[in-house]
Chain A
Amino acid sequence: MIENIVYMNGYGVFVWSSFAITALSCVIVYFKTLKTLRKYEKEFAKEIEDLSTEKRKTLLESSKVASQVVSSYNKTI
């Protein structure tokens, strides 16, 4: 049975290559997208940290996005 799944009556090379190329592309794009997201989150959180205390407080109170990014960034470090 395993031999059948691997060789697929001579079509195994084509079938497995198709699945492998699809899987590899999906994995590469996933990690590249995640890396870009993390980079932006990190840069954004750092820029917020660099603000003066008053500005930072106002921003975190007014922007849900900013407060979420900062809290998730603080969790990762």
Chain B
Amino acid sequence: MLKFFTNSNIFFWIEKLTNFINSIFFVLLLVAISFAIIFSPPDYLQGDSVRIMYVHVPAAWIGLASFTLIALISILNFIFKIKNLMLVSKSIAPIGLMFTCLAIVTGSLWGQPTWGTFWAWDARITSMLVLAIFYLLFIFVHKFISGEEKANKISNMIAIIGFINIPIIKYSVEWWNTLHQPASVKILGSSTIHSSMLVPLLLMFFVLILYCALIFLMKYKTEIIRIKKKNLKRL
């Protein structure tokens, strides 16, 4: 079983998966965008501005999920010291940062027509900004700290400390009075969003997840080559 997780095998499967994602991506993207822009109805209160949700919500979900994954990997890495796990979190971090920033920017664009302002120091928005800062710290540690082991240790600590922010983001709309609305889509409990909007939302989420997988696979492949390149010098 463990043999499957050798870099050589992973490298082989990365190639196969990348080709598969490339082959279905554009068709799914076209379908998802058609639903988001044309087929889904406008909201009875927010009108057409609700369509921003189809990029804002998946971006926020991906930003949160990526950091949660990085934090869990960091905890596992502290206990088991598996090198490949660090490669995974290093490859996820830039994707998470991009989607967190996208969630902030698109949220700001949604805020102007809905709340009358692009920015407010609201609990949800501020905690998302804090998440982006944690991502930046995580990435900068790997970029600017020499010595892989030291960089790994510091970045693991940043991820674990930053993990405290995840429930704060999630429950900020319940704990404080915020401009931001509470969650409409719930994993546990019934969602308060109509299926005509839920379907395009999930489609867009799926397409963006595929995009993330594509970027992750390319970044992971780069990391494997970087390690092999380093080992080559020892020959």
Interface residues, chain A, CB within 8 Å of chain B? 5, 8-12, 14-15, 17-19, 21-22, 25-26, 29-30, 33-34, 36-37, 40-41, 43-44, 47-48, 51, 55, 59, 63-66, 68-69
Contacts and interface: CB of A to CB of B under 8 A. Distances in A.
A44 B225 contact: yes
A25 B109 CA distance: 16
Interface string B215-235: 100110110111011001001
Contact of B225 (A5, A18, A69): A69
Contacts of B9: 64
B52 A14 contact: yes
B228 A65 contact: yes
Q: What are the 9 tightest A-B residue pairs by CB atom distance, in nearest-first order?
A: A64-B8, A8-B48, A11-B49, A18-B106, A11-B48, A40-B225, A22-B55, A18-B52, A33-B218
Which DSSP category, helix, strand, loop or mixed, fits chain B's interface? helix
B224 A65 contact: yes
Interface in B92-107: 94-95, 98, 101-102, 105-106
Contacts of B235: 51, 55, 59
B102 A25 contact: yes
Interface of B: 7-9, 11-12, 15, 33, 37-38, 42, 47-49, 51-52, 55-56, 59, 94-95, 98, 101-102, 105-106, 109-110, 112-113, 211, 214-215, 218-219, 221-222, 224-226, 228-229, 232, 235
B113 to A, nearest CB: 5
A19 B55 contact: yes
A32 to B, nearest CB: 9
Nearest to A47: B232
Contacts of A59: 232, 235
A8 B43 CA distance: 12
A42 B59 CA distance: 33
Contacts of B106: 18, 21-22
